[in-house]
Amino acid sequence: MAQVTVTIDGKAYRMACDEGQEEHLISLATRFDRYVMHLKESFGEIGDQRLTVMAGIMVMDELAELQKRTKGFETEIGTLRKTRDDALTKADKNDAALTGALSNFAERIEILADRLSGRPRQV
């Protein structure tokens, strides 16, 4: 197990993480520290726990919004897949170019949805 020291609100915290994940953990801590500092600038010294809870809630709010957007993309992907499948069923050989374009479009949306949700690309 690797260990790194991260700084949140000027305080150092020693944390363990998997080997190779050190930079990722430092990056996450830096991003979270920005939330805490933003709140501190907005509300002043309101207590470490309160700042941390408020920052955590802000992060969860962003996560919830991204999850909604991801669900919307997944719905759109389902619609596009159905459209593609319907087109494949009805299409003849002359429609191959259109069908290929729809398939490529659906795949691009799937890649985008995977990127937004942080999931690895599924084949």
pLDDT at position 31 over 60: yes
Phi, psi of 95, rounded to the nearest 5 degrees: -90, 10
pLDDT at position 94 over 70: no
pLDDT at position 103 over 70: yes
CATH code of the region 1-46: 3.30.160
Amino acid at 85: D
pLDDT at position 95 over 70: no
pLDDT at position 112 over 90: no
Q: Where are the domains of the chain?
A: 1-46, 63-123
